[in-house]
């Protein structure tokens, strides 16, 4: 188990790295996270939903992702409630008060341990990821993802701390000091993450930590910017609030409060001709060459929010000025004439007008669509790949599809090359689609980009970095004793 002193210390990426190392060394690894809280999700090959981080880790391990890798997924829809996805299927909305009852969590823990047991029967080793901090003592009796899960699996636990934040001695010492003896006995090592500069300068700190805690420091990972692993949390977007660049195609992703699947735009960042940034600033939206409305877990609520802050008006102004405007999933729904929520899927508002950019109407349904898709983009040659995760059905008086899916059905609405929407996440991972978008502003991509191949290269780079800076012999020796 890769556990943490806090959230966003690098657990997800390090878990992916271990998955890749074990695959390279001839093992059959698989990732596991009992409970994930994220709006960044993915559709499994059998049409179910899990956290995107576990899908990334499964890709690093070289195995298809399954719901047993993430049996419990929470998708926040407001400040106090979230949709519960259990074994890949929606299981209703829960408030925090409802979710954190001991009896309810015991039931989820039973589901999580059963999923782990099925996974462990097929894969070796299972690389588990914890959530947040393992020392939240007020939640221990309701824990289904951290040390309680480690105890069930009898896992070797490695504690990750982010030295770039500061306070690393207190966070590591305090975390370990709070653990009961039987849980601390599972902790086999400490991993210092995001170290800037020469790691040899921390030799004294390493020895002091080991003396204080009685736990060896398994390694010190350097801070890196040249390895690109898809992030789980929107915390990473804080580094992407860039502004316009004079010599590039400026693509503005409208920043939504409940934005989902922000990894839809990771591939765009890899083209040297593109400057991608996230913003809700109306002035920046109007000046961008391309505006993208992304997915949302609360489409109506986010639409009302961007109306209030002026971003919606800026999108309309950009479209009127001939800029390219694209909607993906919830963003596609926003671009339509109306959005109806007759069953209260998202909240109390039963219907609202959309932006009116596309002649389509959306009804939010009680059944969620989750499916991987092969498709053809417009009349372009070649097969593209994406996936659907949505609870809406969008219709138009006359069909004008953006994509033709593998079963021959249509997806999205194409008003013009500069105005269209689709339900397909990952549509912009496909080079042919990116070239069309860039072509609308009179620019051309100098070279094609193979995003799937790029991701594989990043996993290998991450594994090489971790091998260089971690004591993998100690990791394997500990595993051999189990």
Can you give the three-state secondary structure of 140-185, one letter per residue? HHHCCCCHHHHHHHCCCEEEEEEHHHCCHHHHHHHHHHHCCHHHHC
Rounded Cα–Cα distance for residues 61 and 127 (Å)? 10
Angle between helices 451-469 and 11-24 (to 10 degrees): 90
Q: Which of 329, 363, 384, 469 is catalytic?
A: 329
Q: Which residues contact 388 (CB under 8 A, 6 or more apart)?
A: 43, 329, 369, 370, 371, 373, 423, 424, 425
Residue 178, Cα to own-chain centre: how many angstroms? 30
Strands in 201-359 per DSSP E:
217-222, 249-254, 259-260, 274-279, 290-293, 295-296, 324-328, 338-340, 351-353
Q: Which of 361, 390, 425, 469 is catalytic?
A: 425
Rounded Cα–Cα distance for residues 250 and 223 (Å)? 28
Please confirm whether the linkage preceding 125 is cis (ω < 30° from 0). Answer: yes
Backbone angles phi, psi at 107, to 5 degrees: -65, -40
Residue 384 designated active-site: no
* Tokens standing for residue 225: 């910017």
Angle between helices 299-308 and 311-320 (to 10 degrees): 80
End-to-end Cα, the chain, rounded Å:
14
**Number of DSSP helices (H) and strands (E) in the chain, helices first:** 15, 26
Which residue, 159, 155, 160, is CA-closest to 182?
155
State how beta strands 49-51 and 41-43 pair. antiparallel
* Tokens standing for residue 334: 């926003």
Rounded Cα–Cα distance for residues 39 and 76 (Å)? 7
Secondary structure (3-state) at 89: strand
Rounded Cα–Cα distance for residues 14 and 466 (Å)? 8
Rounded Cα–Cα distance for residues 361 and 47 (Å)? 25
Would you please indicate which residues are annotated as catalytic (active-site) residues? 329, 425
């Amino acid at each position: 188990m890769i556990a943490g002193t806090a959230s966003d210390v690098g657990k997800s990426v390090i878990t992916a790295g271990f998955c890749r190392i074990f695959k390279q060394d001839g093992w059959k690894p698989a990732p596991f996270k009992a409970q994930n809280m994220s709006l960044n999700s993915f559709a499994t090959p059998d049409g179910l939903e899990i956290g995107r981080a576990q899908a990334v880790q499964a890709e690093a391990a070289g195995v298809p992702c399954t719901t047993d890798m993430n049996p419990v997924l929470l998708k926040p829809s407001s400040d106090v409630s979230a949709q519960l996805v259990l074994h890949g299927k929606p299981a209703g909305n829960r408030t925090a008060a409802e979710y954190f009852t001991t009896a309810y969590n015991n039931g989820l823990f039973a589901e999580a341990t059963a999923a782990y047991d099925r996974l462990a029967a097929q894969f070796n080793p299972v690389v588990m990821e914890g959530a947040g901090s393992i020392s939240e003592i007020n939640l221990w009796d309701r824990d289904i993802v951290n040390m309680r899960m480690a105890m069930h699996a009898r896992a070797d636990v490695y504690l990750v701390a982010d030295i770039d934040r500061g306070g690393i001695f207190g966070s590591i010492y305090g975390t370990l000091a709070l653990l009961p003896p039987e849980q601390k006995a599972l902790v086999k090592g400490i991993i210092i993450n995001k170290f800037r500069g020469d790691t040899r300068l921390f030799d004294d700190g390493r020895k002091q930590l080991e003396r204080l805690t009685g736990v060896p420091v398994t390694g010190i990972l350097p801070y890196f910017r040249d390895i690109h692993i898809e992030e789980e949390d929107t915390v990473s977007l804080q580094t992407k609030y860039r502004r316009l660049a004079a010599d590039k195609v400026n693509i503005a992703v409208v920043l939504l409060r409940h934005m989902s699947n922000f990894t839809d735009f990771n591939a765009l960042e890899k083209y040297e001709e593109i400057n991608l940034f996230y913003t809700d600033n109306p002035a920046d939206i109007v000046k961008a060459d391309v505006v993208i409305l992304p997915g949302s877990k609360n489409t109506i609520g986010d639409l009302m929010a961007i109306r209030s802050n002026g971003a919606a008006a800026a999108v309309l102004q950009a479209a009127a000025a001939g800029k390219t405007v694209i909607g993906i999933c919830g963003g596609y729904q926003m671009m339509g004439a109306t959005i109806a929520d007759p069953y209260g899927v998202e909240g109390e508002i039963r219907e609202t007008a959309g932006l009116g950019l596309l002649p389509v109407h959306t009804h939010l349904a009680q059944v969620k669509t989750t499916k991987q898709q092969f498709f053809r983009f417009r009349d372009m040659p070649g097969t593209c790949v994406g996936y659907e995760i949505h609870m809406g059905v969008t219709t138009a008086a006359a069909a004008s599809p953006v994509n033709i899916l593998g079963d021959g059905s249509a997806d999205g609405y194409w008003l013009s090359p500069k105005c269209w929407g689709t339900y397909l996440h990952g549509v912009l991972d496909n080079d042919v689609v990116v070239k069309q978008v860039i072509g609308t502003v009179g620019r051309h991509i100098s070279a094609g980009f193979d995003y799937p191949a790029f991701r594989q290269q990043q996993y290998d780079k991450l594994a090489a970095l971790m091998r260089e800076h971690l004591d993998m012999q100690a990791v394997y020796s500990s595993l051999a004793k189990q």
